[in-house]
Amino acid sequence: MKKLALFMFTLLLILSMAACSDKTAKENEHDSGGTKTIRVVYKDEGPSNPVAKTYYANLEKALKKDEKLDVKFELVEMPQGTYSEKLNLLLLSGDIPDLIYFQGGDQQMVEQQLLEDLTPYIEKSTYIKEILGTHNLERMKNYPYLLWIKPLDSKTPVIRKDWLEQTASSKELMENPTVDNYYTFFKELVAQSSEGKPKYAITTAGDIGELDYLFEMAFGINQTWLKNGTEYEYSKVSTKEKEKLAFYNKLYKEGLLDPQYLTKQWDTKEKAFYDGETAVIVGTNGKVVDIYNGKMKQVNGDNAEVSVLPPAKGEFQGYAPTDITKESRGLAISSQSKNKDTVFKILDYLASPKGQMFDRIGFEGEHYQVTDSGIELNEKYYNEWYARYWEPEEFTTEKPLKTPLLSEPAEKSRELANEFYSEDNLFLIPEELVSKWDAMENLYKEYATDIITGKQPIGNFDKFVSEWKKAGGDEVTEYANKNIK
């Protein structure tokens, strides 16, 4: 079925690309005067976004001034809906921009040879090769089509600092963050709800992935494939997973986990946090925590600064292992583009000192001010600005930053993410097993949800394991044991 779908995809792509050939020729004629049109598709960065329009207009000027590159950016508007699905439809139509931001769905494009291998570009780069982190290098070795130079993407839990300090159990939690101490802390938070405290201790955006960043390693799940004697077994069918789900069910049953966690989206999750409905949410360390901190103080006053919570401690401790198989999101260059070298020059420029200054701190006069003594970031920067492209750990400016790039809680979240870094042993599922793997993952989600919400007893976990093995689990496990190094 998958091969038939890929064949139909290829056929439609060839036909639609042929239909687009006249348009491409006209675009190339338009570019013959020296200005190259670079088409960009990027989530939330379409022409209807005034900040995006200003950003790319300013980038055109900077590239012309600093690099003598004469380019015009054309931003592609994406319709409302799931970005990866809408992007897939756009590319399937044969409309393939030069620079593409992916947030899923990229592997299908790689199979059709529509994305450029970035390895030779990086090797010849002036700046990008110097700012790649260890996790970036490992991911690029395995999958050289997506580039996403950001700090570790581990997610860290945060809570209002005033609420943290008002609980009697917080001191013990911060010194010894065991699963039991987290449970005690959550119970105290919700018990005081009548005093203006939250209804729920924690909520998530639609699944248990964010809970796992906090608790999974404490239950002994330190990698996707766990060593069981001499063999590897998939962590989600292990006894450790069963214990973890039983704990999540306990949180749900006692009203500590938001009963609406399955239907929450990222925006409603954050609103519940700012409005005080929930005490703890989990967000990507660094800039996302910075935005949480800024908005929380904006809504509830300076005393509502956020604090970062440590990962739960048990058999292991950490914010989940880091997947190094590939970037889960990132930027790709179309293999069909006539402007591949130019596109990469733009990406390399954004890694340069001048490019970093442009991308990292926003618009002068709006997000920061330059004075004789240095650069001062303002409240608007902390509340809304984020780098569209690269965020290496080191960032220097010609004049000193009078205010830090990240707030204290955001910096703390980044330090903790680095402190608890560990690598996963996840691997890319081979094409012949992908459809079975997807079905197995859906089976897990169904059972996990029913067990957490009490629709099925925890004893049915063993039934799930049996069904998982029959659905293809035995084949994938055999493959894992042959290929995990």
User: Bigger pLDDT: 396 or 297?
Assistant: 297
Examine the domain organization and report whether 138 and 22 are in the same domain. Answer: yes
**Which pLDDT value is given to residue 193?**
62
Q: Is residue 413 part of a domain?
A: no
Examine the domain organization and report whether 312 and 458 are in the same domain. Answer: yes
Q: Is residue 419 part of a domain?
A: no
Examine the domain organization and report whether 65 and 128 are in the same domain. Answer: yes
CA 260 from centre of chain: 22
**Which pLDDT value is given to residue 397?**
86
User: Structurally, how many domains does the chain consist of?
Assistant: 2
pLDDT at 195 over 70: no
CB 479 within 8 A of CB 470: no
**Which pLDDT value is given to residue 11?**
47
pLDDT at 17 over 60: no
Kindly give, in sequence order, each residue whose CB lies less than 8 Å from that of residue 330, ignoring residues fewer than 6 positions away.
Answer: 101, 102, 146, 147, 148
For the residues 133-149, what does the mean pLDDT come to? 93
| 458 SS3 class | helix
For the residues 365-369, what does the mean pLDDT come to? 93
Examine the domain organization and report whether 445 and 363 are in the same domain. Answer: no
Using the 3D structure, point to which of 376, 398, 415 is the last residue of a domain.
Answer: 376
Task: State the distance between the two ends of the chain, measured CA to CA, in whole angstroms.
Answer: 31
For the residues 67-86, what does the mean pLDDT come to? 93
**Which pLDDT value is given to residue 425?**
93
pLDDT at 2 over 70: no
For the residues 346-351, what does the mean pLDDT come to? 98
**Which pLDDT value is given to residue 20?**
46
CB 172 within 8 A of CB 157: no
For the residues 391-401, what does the mean pLDDT come to? 87
* pLDDT tens per residue, range 29-47: 344 458 999 999 999 999 9
Examine the domain organization and report whether 77 and 146 are in the same domain. Answer: yes
Examine the domain organization and report whether 332 and 303 are in the same domain. Answer: no
Extract the tokens encoding 339: 């402007």
Instruction: Work out the percent of the chain whose per-residue pLDDT is above 70.
Output: 92
Examine the domain organization and report whether 256 and 209 are in the same domain. Answer: yes
Q: Is residue 417 part of a domain?
A: no
**Which pLDDT value is given to residue 139?**
93
For residue 44, the domain's CATH number is 3.40.190.10
**Which pLDDT value is given to residue 181?**
98
341 half-sphere exposure, CB direction, 13 A CA radius: 2
Q: How confident is the model at residue 24 (pLDDT cuts 50, 70, 90)?
A: very low
Q: Which of 284, 283, 43, 281 is nearest to 152 (CA)?
A: 284
Query: Where in the sequence is the domain holding 236, given as residue range(s)?
Result: 155-321+426-483
**Which pLDDT value is given to residue 18?**
43
Instruction: Work out the percent of the chain whose per-residue pLDDT is above 90.
Output: 77
Examine the domain organization and report whether 351 and 306 are in the same domain. Answer: no
Question: If DSSP states are collapsed to H, E and C, what string results for 49-118?
Answer: CHHHHHHHHHHHHHHHHHHCCCEEEEECCCCCCCHHHHHHHHHHCCCCCCEEEECCCHHHHHHCCCECCC
| 333 SS3 class | strand
* pLDDT tens per residue, range 407-453: 999 999 999 999 999 999 998 898 899 999 999 999 999 999 999 99
Examine the domain organization and report whether 166 and 304 are in the same domain. Answer: yes
Mean pLDDT for the chain?
Answer: 91
Q: Is residue 357 part of a domain?
A: yes
**Which pLDDT value is given to residue 410?**
94
β-pairing, 330-333 vs 155-160, is unpaired
Q: Is residue 130 part of a domain?
A: yes
Q: Is residue 121 part of a domain?
A: yes
Examine the domain organization and report whether 260 and 127 are in the same domain. Answer: no
Q: Is residue 404 part of a domain?
A: no
